[in-house]
Structures are given as structure tokens and as C-alpha cells.
């Protein structure tokens, strides 16, 4: 049989384009164009209160931001994000250590505890936090019980930081534990063998080696909390102004879209800038370590000086620590002070780890507990048992309508995005074409960009077609996000795919399509199932983007309960939230069965 080279190369170009195009159309129309438009609009002049836009180039919106009030908003947002990151690191690291070291059943339970909140709707989780941190919540009751004054966590910045930590800490834990789990255990043994104590081996070997996990986790948590909307809005009671609230206020209440667009662009630039600085700084501090003993590419003199300095520093520290040794030998008191920590250390750490693990999960059971409360006040502990808030859902038609809308959206999203996303993932994994990496990042970019920015960009875009607060408008928005998730999940299941299996099938006489159906598809099926679950959950739970583009009679369920919570706690919302938590738990169980929790990746 003659080999037709030209036909082959024609096919090679044509196939990836065909596979990619459905997904690319969704991403381009629903994301890329709106974001570009948002950027352009930020340079136009808005007429406050009218929603009108004067299409003339101006930098006035950016100039306006340089103002004490807005700068304070930016600084406050930054501060909250930094505190959240630090708190997540301090609380999350010990849990990451347990997670990395545990095996079997304990590991599964821990993973379930860490992952369930991630799959739960953010409004439902924040409701849990409102109950935990509330004036009559369990924490304040405990403070009461031990005779300490109550603390007003919410509304306020303290509550927001604690809340964001609870919401985003799982990302920190998973990043660090995945790095810790890959550290060769014999390195710790080598340190012990060379004379380190257990604690010394941790600080000198394990901790420095876990730096990549700390950096990645910190970036995650920082970016997510810097650009989150729902949690600060609800825990701040609308009184703590952060960047995302400013964007919402300018776009939705003051109808000054160009200024809102400018604030969104600033949010984006500041977060990208900070990430860059942070990554550079952590990278160069590592380089600095090398420089201590003469770094390789450093100039001779500088090398000499830095070496001398490092030597001097070591000797100075050495003298101090030897003096401390001498003192602790001579003065038994110092030794006595040390001993309780040595013996109680393990117990203290275990208790600390347990408290944090409880902190991660406790808002969810509390929501469920409250949903069976007999009184309409949300009290802790509950006063009586009742199903009336569940039956009450059906008496409020707006909730039923919202539920039906969210369900239709989620099911459609699963069907469409699993198809388009899987095709795109296959094209990205199987074919080498020009611009492949650009296309890949285009597909994944809706996951990188803050939801608030996607929301305001889409709002402005949908206005043009009159698609705001319509089914098709929300569907487009959700498809952008769900397609990105599907591409990511299916891609990761294709990474470990041994392509020689496909070659074997072809060698045995199977056609390309037969090979796909009988070899490729069955092997990536677990990935596709998990992608479908993700698509359903992401669409059904989507809140922040939807807040911008729903309205009137077309309001999705999470937005409905969010708006309700803006006015205060409502027992019907606890019942709905409980159902959302149940849905997350079921999704997790299915993922665990199909995929195994260990393989579940957050990236």
C-alpha cells in the first residue's frame, strides 16, 4: 500500500483544530472577548448612575483610584489576604504533616475532611462560619464557659480572616502535603544519623525541602482570599469594604462600569505583581543559600566576602549556643523548664493537629445541626428537633424555581462541557501543533482569573445581547468554568496514559477510531467521570460570577441563598445549605470510588 504523506499531514493539521474548536468557541466568546472588552472599557469614561459609557480614551478611572479611600480599600484587602495566608500556613502545616505521613484508613478520612469543604458551596460554608463565629455561636459559648468576655468576630475583619482561612486552608494543606509526601524519608534518617535531634532534622532538612509546597500553597491562598467576594461580603456584614465589594458596588449599585472595570484591572495587576515579587523573592533566597558558600557564578571578591560573613555568622551563633549549653548544664532550672516540652511535645502537637482538623470540618455539621432546629432563631446548641425548615422549602416557590434552574444549568453543563472539554484535552495531549501551550493556558485561564473579574466582564458583554439574567447568558458563563475544569481533569488523566497501548492496538489492525473507542476511552473513563462530577458541582455551586449576571426571575440557587444571607440568617437557608453539603459529600464518595482520593489533585 502506498503511503500518502500529503494526506497524513493534512489530517494532522485538521484533526486538532476540529477537536479544539467547540471548546475554543465557548472560551473565546464567554471569556476571552469579555475580558478584553473589560480592559478596553476601563479606559472609557462612565456616567455614574446611568450605566452609560462615553467611548473616549481616558486614564481618569485609574487616576481616580489613587485616592486615600480607595488606597485604603486596596491596603485592607491586601492585609486580610496576607493574614489569611500566614494563618493558613501556621495552622495548615501540622495538618499537612499528618496527611503526608498517614496511610490507609486514617489517610482516607483525613483527605475526606480536607476535601469535603472544597467541594461544598461557598455560601453554605460561609453560613457555617456565621454560626461558628456568631455572637451566640459555639466559640463565644466556650469563652463564656471559661469566664472570658465574648468576642465580636462578625461582622468584622477578624471574622473575615478566620473565615477565609477556614475556606482556603485546604489548598495550603494539599500543596504542602503533596510535597512532604514526596520527600525521601531516608533524608530525615540521614540527618539523625549525623547527630540531629528529631526537631533538628525537621528544621534543617524537612522544612527547607517543603518550601515549594509552602510557596505554591501561599500563592493559592493569597490569590483566592485577595479576590474572594462571598465570604468577606457575608462575614463583613457589608461593612468591611474590600476590592471585590468595591467592584460590585461600582458596577451594580452605582452603575459606573468603566470605573468598576478599572478597579478589576487594578485587582488583577496587583495580584499578578505580588505573585511575581513573591516568587522571585523566594527563588532568590534559595540562591542566597548557595551564595553563603561561594555560590557558583558570583564574582570572586563578593564570593570571598559572603563566605567570610557566613563563616563569621556561623561561629557567632555557635558561641551563643555553646554558652547556652554550658548554662543549661550548670543551672538545672533551665533543664527543668525544657523537660515538660520534651515529654509533652508529642501530645501537644497531636492535640493542636486535632483542633485544626475539627476547625476545618466543623462549620458543615453545624449547618446541618442548625437545620433541624425547632426555633427560627439560629441557636447553639439547638433547642428542639424539627423537619419544618425542609418542608418549608417547598412552600417558598422562589427557592423551588431557583433549584430547578440550577439543576437544568448543571445538567446541560455536564453534557456540553464534558464533550467539548474531553475533545480539547485529547487534542492538547495527543497532537503537537503550533501554539499548543497558548491554547492550553487559554482553556485554563478562567480558573486563574478571579471570579469577580469574570463576572463583571461577562455582565458588560451580555448586556450587548440583552442576555443578562437569561438562561443562555448564565449557561455561557457556567460553561466557561466547567469546560476549564473538564480540560484540566481529563488532561491530568491523559498525562499518565501509556501511548504505546494505542500503538499496540493500531499494530494489531485497529483503526484510529476503533482504538479510541476500545482502548483510549475506557482507560480515561475514570477521569471523564470525575470531570463530569466536577462540572456538575462547579455549575450547581457557582456563586460569584452568577451574582453579576442573574436577576429577576432567573436566579440560581446559590445566589438566592446568598442574597437571603445578605439580610441575615434564615433557617430555610440552613436547610438548603445542608442539602448542598450532602451533595458535596456524595460527590466526594463517588470520586473516591472511581478515582481514589489520593489521586485527586487540586491543580
How many C-beta atoms surround the C-beta of residue 488 within 10 A? 19
Eight-class DSSP state of 551: B
Q: Which is nearer to other proteins, 195 or 522 (CB)?
A: 195
Q: Say if strands 52-54 and 45-47 run parallel, antiparallel, or are unpaired.
A: antiparallel
CA distance 392 to 49: 38
Q: Which is nearer to other proteins, 195 or 466 (CB)?
A: 195
Q: Which is nearer to other proteins, 194 or 354 (CB)?
A: 194
Eight-class DSSP state of 150: P
Smallest distance, Å, CB 408 to other proteins?
52
Nearest to 174 by CA among 226, 208, 213: 213
In the chain, count H helices and then E strands: 29, 2
HSE, CB side, 13 Å, CA atoms: give it for residue 98: 23
Instruction: Please report, as ranges, the residues that interact with other proteins according to CB under 8 A.
Output: 184, 186-187, 189-197, 200, 204-205, 208-209, 211, 286, 289-290, 293-296, 311, 314-315, 318, 321-322
Q: Which is nearer to other proteins, 90 or 324 (CB)?
A: 324
Q: Which is nearer to other proteins, 286 or 436 (CB)?
A: 286
Eight-class DSSP state of 469: T
Residue 19 · residue 426 · CB < 8 Å: yes
* Residues making up the chain, counted from first to last: 603
Smallest distance, Å, CB 172 to other proteins?
21
Smallest distance, Å, CB 184 to other proteins?
7
Smallest distance, Å, CB 341 to other proteins?
17
Nearest to 575 by CA among 400, 358, 410: 400
Q: Which is nearer to other proteins, 14 or 312 (CB)?
A: 312
CA distance 60 to 42: 9
Smallest distance, Å, CB 330 to other proteins?
17
CA distance 255 to 97: 48
Listed in order, strand segments (DSSP E) in 61-202 are none
Residue 169 · residue 353 · CB < 8 Å: no
Smallest distance, Å, CB 195 to other proteins?
4
Residues 6+ apart with CB under 8 A from 533: 587, 590, 591
Q: Which is nearer to other proteins, 319 or 333 (CB)?
A: 319
Q: Which is nearer to other proteins, 143 or 335 (CB)?
A: 335
Q: How far is CA 259 from CA 69, 170, 256, 445, in A?
A: 14, 34, 6, 23
Residue 441 · residue 379 · CB < 8 Å: no
Q: Which is nearer to other proteins, 200 or 496 (CB)?
A: 200
- 3-class DSSP string for 233-264: HHHCCCCCCCHHHHHHHHHHHCCCHHHHHHHH
Strand partners, 385: 373
Q: Diameter of the chain by CA atoms?
A: 92
Smallest distance, Å, CB 316 to other proteins?
10
Smallest distance, Å, CB 218 to other proteins?
18
Angle at 443 between CA 479 and CA 517, to 5 degrees: 80
Smallest distance, Å, CB 311 to other proteins?
4
Q: Which is nearer to other proteins, 191 or 487 (CB)?
A: 191
Smallest distance, Å, CB 424 to other proteins?
35
Torsion of CA 359, 362, 363, 364, to 10 degrees: 140
Q: Which is nearer to other proteins, 295 or 382 (CB)?
A: 295
Q: State the cell numbers at 557.
A: 440557587
Smallest distance, Å, CB 289 to other proteins?
8
Q: Which is nearer to other proteins, 290 or 563 (CB)?
A: 290
Smallest distance, Å, CB 105 to other proteins?
17
Amino acid at each position: 500500500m502506498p503511503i500518502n504523506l500529503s494526506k497524513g499531514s493534512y489530517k494532522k493539521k485538521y484533526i486538532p483544530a476540529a477537536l479544539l474548536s467547540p471548546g475554543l468557541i465557548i472560551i473565546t466568546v464567554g471569556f476571552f472577548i469579555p475580558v478584553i472588552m473589560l480592559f478596553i472599557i476601563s479606559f472609557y469614561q462612565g456616567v455614574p448612575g446611568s450605566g452609560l459609557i462615553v467611548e473616549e480614551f481616558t486614564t481618569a478611572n485609574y487616576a481616580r483610584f489613587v485616592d486615600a479611600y480607595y488606597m485604603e480599600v486596596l491596603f485592607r484587602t491586601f492585609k486580610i489576604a496576607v493574614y489569611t495566608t500566614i494563618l493558613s500556613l501556621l495552622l495548615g502545616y501540622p495538618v499537612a504533616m499528618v496527611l503526608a505521613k498517614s496511610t490507609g484508613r486514617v489517610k482516607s478520612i483525613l483527605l475526606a475532611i480536607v476535601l469535603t469543604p472544597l467541594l461544598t458551596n461557598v455560601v453554605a460554608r460561609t453560613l457555617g462560619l456565621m454560626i461558628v463565629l456568631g455572637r451566640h455561636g459555639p466559640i463565644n459559648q466556650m469563652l463564656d464557659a471559661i469566664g472570658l468576655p465574648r468576642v465580636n468576630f462578625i461582622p468584622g475583619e477578624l471574622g473575615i480572616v478566620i473565615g477565609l482561612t477556614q475556606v482556603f486552608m485546604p489548598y495550603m494543606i494539599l500543596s504542602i502535603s503533596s510535597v512532604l509526601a514526596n520527600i525521601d524519608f531516608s533524608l530525615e534518617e540521614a540527618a539523625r544519623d549525623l547527630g540531629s535531634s528529631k526537631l533538628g532534622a525537621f528544621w534543617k532538612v524537612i522544612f527547607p525541602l517543603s518550601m515549594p509546597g509552602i510557596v505554591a500553597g501561599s500563592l493559592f491562598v493569597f490569590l483566592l482570599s485577595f479576590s474572594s467576594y462571598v465570604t468577606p461580603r457575608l462575614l463583613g456584614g457589608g461593612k468591611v469594604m474590600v476590592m471585590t465589594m468595591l467592584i460590585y458596588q461600582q458596577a451594580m449599585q452605582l452603575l459606573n462600569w468603566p470605573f468598576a472595570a478599572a478597579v478589576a484591572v487594578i485587582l488583577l495587576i496587583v495580584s499578578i505583581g505580588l505573585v511575581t515579587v513573591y516568587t522571585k523573592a523566594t527563588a532568590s533566597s534559595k540562591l542566597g543559600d548557595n551564595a553563603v558558600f561561594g555560590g557558583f557564578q558570583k564574582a570572586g571578591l563578593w564570593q570571598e566576602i559572603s563566605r567570610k560573613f557566613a563563616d563569621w555568622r556561623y561561629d557567632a551563633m555557635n558561641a551563643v549556643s555553646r554558652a547556652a549549653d554550658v548554662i543549661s548544664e550548670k543551672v538545672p532550672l533551665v533543664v527543668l523548664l525544657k523537660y515538660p516540652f520534651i515529654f509533652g511535645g508529642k501530645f501537644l502537637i497531636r492535640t493542636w493537629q486535632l483542633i485544626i482538623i475539627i476547625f476545618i470540618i466543623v462549620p458543615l455539621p453545624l449547618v446541618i445541626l442548625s437545620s433541624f432546629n425547632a426555633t427560627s432563631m439560629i441557636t447553639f446548641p439547638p433547642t428542639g428537633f424539627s423537619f419544618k425548615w425542609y418542608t418549608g422549602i417547598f412552600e417558598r416557590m422562589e427557592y423551588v424555581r431557583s433549584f430547578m434552574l440550577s439543576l437544568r444549568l448543571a445538567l446541560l453543563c455536564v453534557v456540553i462541557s464534558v464533550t467539548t472539554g474531553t475533545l480539547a484535552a485529547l487534542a492538547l495531549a495527543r497532537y503537537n501543533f503550533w501554539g499548543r501551550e497558548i491554547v492550553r493556558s487559554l482553556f485554563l485561564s478562567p480558573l486563574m482569573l478571579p471570579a469577580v473579574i469574570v463576572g463583571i466582564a461577562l455582565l458588560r458583554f451580555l448586556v450587548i445581547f440583552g442576555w443578562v439574567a437569561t438562561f443562555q447568558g448564565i449557561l455561557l458563563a457556567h460553561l466557561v468554568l466547567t469546560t476549564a475544569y473538564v480540560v484540566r481533569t481529563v488532561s491530568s488523566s491523559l498525562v499518565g496514559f501509556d501511548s504505546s497501548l494505542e500503538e499496540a492496538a493500531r499494530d494489531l489492525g485497529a483503526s484510529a477510531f476503533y482504538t479510541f473507542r476500545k482502548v483510549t476511552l475506557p482507560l480515561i473513563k475514570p477521569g471523564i467521570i470525575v470531570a463530569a462530577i466536577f462540572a456538575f458541582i462547579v455549575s450547581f455551586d457557582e456563586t460569584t460570577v452568577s451574582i453579576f449576571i442573574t436577576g429577576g426571575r432567573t436566579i440560581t440557587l446559590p445566589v438566592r441563598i446568598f442574597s437571603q444571607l445578605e439580610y441575615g440568617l434564615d433557617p430555610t437557608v440552613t436547610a438548603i445549605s445542608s442539602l448542598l453539603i450532602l451533595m458535596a459529600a456524595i460527590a466526594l464518595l463517588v470520586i473516591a470510588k472511581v478515582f481514589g482520593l489520593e489521586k485527586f489533585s487540586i491543580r
